[in-house]
Amino acid sequence: MTQKALLDGLLDEVESSAKRGTAIVVFDLDDTLFSTADRHLRILAEFAALIETQDARSAGILRAIAREKLRYSIADTAKDHGLEEKLGKDLRDFWFARFFKNPYLLEDSIIAGGPEYADAVIARGGKAFYMTGRDEGMREGTEASLLRHRFPEPDGKGATLVLKPSFDTPDFAFKNEALHKIAELGEVVGSFENEPAHVNMFVERFPKGRHFLLETKHSGRPVELLAGVHRIKDFRR
Ligand SMILES: [Mg+2]
């Protein structure tokens, strides 16, 4: 089936479920609705500026990294480009202190078609839940980023934003727990994720739903996708 047919099929499902009750579609954010590539590139550029005077060569390498060469982990990106281990570690610390901070969230671009698709879910009578491994401390930047890219506003009516209460909770455990609550609010008819382990959790929990893996990038944990997961590049129809 084409990407268009798959995405349209879920919207039809949303409409028929909404006639029976509350139809819910769950969207992950990072590398699902948003591309984090520009956030990575900004941090790389800032780190390059920091080391420029001591190590102009490495700074040049970092600045020249192309967005399609970015790995999920910044340490792997550094390694792929031949940076020495010590510098890779410093970069990792520098990245970690910034990647989850509100101003940096505003660097993100969208995965194509995402805002229109979330709109369509609501237009067809469904509810969009943004369920993310970002934590409450990132609410401000997340809301600003959603609005800036014209996603449905998470006002708790058409769309709702579900964040982790604290940074330290592992994403999988948090999502597993949050899904219990979401399932009580209506029928989860579909979901979108970039992490194979998370998509599998949706398939097991809501076997009648339609679940999608975005082929962007993921943590690289070796997880086999369960049967029935649909793979898509983006949200264009
Ligand atoms: Mg994600």
pLDDT at 233 over 90: yes
* pLDDT value of position 14: 98
* pLDDT value of position 1: 87
Q: Ligand 1 centre from 144 Cα, in Å? A: 18
Q: Ligand 1 centre from 56 Cα, in Å? A: 34
Q: Ligand 1 centre from 134 Cα, in Å? A: 9
* pLDDT value of position 218: 86
Q: Is residue 228 part of a domain?
A: yes
Q: Ligand 1 centre from 193 Cα, in Å? A: 6
Q: Is residue 119 part of a domain?
A: yes
Q: Ligand 1 centre from 55 Cα, in Å? A: 33
Query: And the tokens for 164?
Result: 């982790």
* pLDDT value of position 220: 79
Q: Is residue 86 part of a domain?
A: yes
Q: Is residue 13 part of a domain?
A: yes
What tens digit of pLDDT does each residue of 48-105 get?
Answer: 999 999 999 999 999 999 999 999 999 999 999 999 999 999 999 999 999 999 999 9
Q: Ligand 1 centre from 197 Cα, in Å? A: 11
Q: Ligand 1 centre from 196 Cα, in Å? A: 10
Mean pLDDT of 204-225: 91
Q: Ligand 1 centre from 180 Cα, in Å? A: 19
Are residue 18 and residue 134 in the same domain, yes or no?
yes
Q: Are 234 and 114 in contact (CB under 8 A)?
A: yes
* pLDDT value of position 123: 98
Are residue 29 and residue 132 in the same domain, yes or no?
yes
Domain that holds residue 66: 37-105
Are residue 57 and residue 87 in the same domain, yes or no?
yes
Q: Ligand 1 centre from 85 Cα, in Å? A: 27
Are residue 152 and residue 202 in the same domain, yes or no?
yes
Q: Ligand 1 centre from 219 Cα, in Å? A: 9
Distance CA 106, CA 39 (A): 8
Name every residue whose Cβ is closer than 8 Å to that of residue 111 and which is 6 or more positions away in sequence.
31, 32, 33, 34, 35, 214, 216, 234, 235
Q: Is residue 207 part of a domain?
A: yes
Q: How do the residues of the chain divide into helix, strand and coil, expressed in percent and rounded to 5?
A: 50, 15, 35
Are residue 191 and residue 90 in the same domain, yes or no?
no
Mean pLDDT of the chain: 96
* pLDDT value of position 217: 83
Mean pLDDT of 157-181: 94
Are residue 47 and residue 141 in the same domain, yes or no?
no
* pLDDT value of position 100: 96
* pLDDT value of position 222: 79
Percent of the residues in the chain that have a pLDDT greater than 70, as a whole number: 100
Number of domains in the chain: 2
pLDDT at 174 over 90: yes
Q: Is residue 122 part of a domain?
A: yes
Q: Ligand 1 centre from 133 Cα, in Å? A: 7
Are residue 170 and residue 214 in the same domain, yes or no?
yes
Domain boundary among 75, 105, 135: 105
Q: What is the CATH number of the domain that holds 165?
A: 3.40.50.1000
Are residue 149 and residue 47 in the same domain, yes or no?
no
CA distance between the termini of the chain? 12
* pLDDT value of position 237: 96
Are residue 115 and residue 8 in the same domain, yes or no?
yes
pLDDT at 182 over 90: yes
* pLDDT value of position 23: 98
Q: Ligand 1 centre from 121 Cα, in Å? A: 20
Q: Ligand 1 centre from 212 Cα, in Å? A: 12
Q: Is residue 237 part of a domain?
A: no
Are residue 152 and residue 226 in the same domain, yes or no?
yes
Q: Are 133 and 32 in contact (CB under 8 A)?
A: no
Q: Is residue 168 part of a domain?
A: yes
* pLDDT value of position 219: 83
**Please, which residues have CB less than 5 A from ligand 1, an ion?**
28, 30-31, 194
Neighbours of 110 (CB within 10 A): 19
Q: What is the pTM of this model?
A: 0.94
* pLDDT value of position 167: 92
- What b/e string do you get for 131-145 counting C-beta neighbours within 10 Å, with b at 16 or more? bbbbbeebeebbbeb
Q: Are 120 and 159 in contact (CB under 8 A)?
A: no
Mean pLDDT of 190-217: 96
Are residue 49 and residue 118 in the same domain, yes or no?
no
Q: Ligand 1 centre from 194 Cα, in Å? A: 5
Domain boundary among 53, 84, 105: 105
What tens digit of pLDDT does each residue of 122-165 get?
Answer: 999 999 999 999 999 999 999 999 999 999 999 999 999 999 99
Are residue 55 and residue 150 in the same domain, yes or no?
no
Domain boundary among 82, 105, 128: 105
* pLDDT value of position 180: 93
Q: Ligand 1 centre from 170 Cα, in Å? A: 13
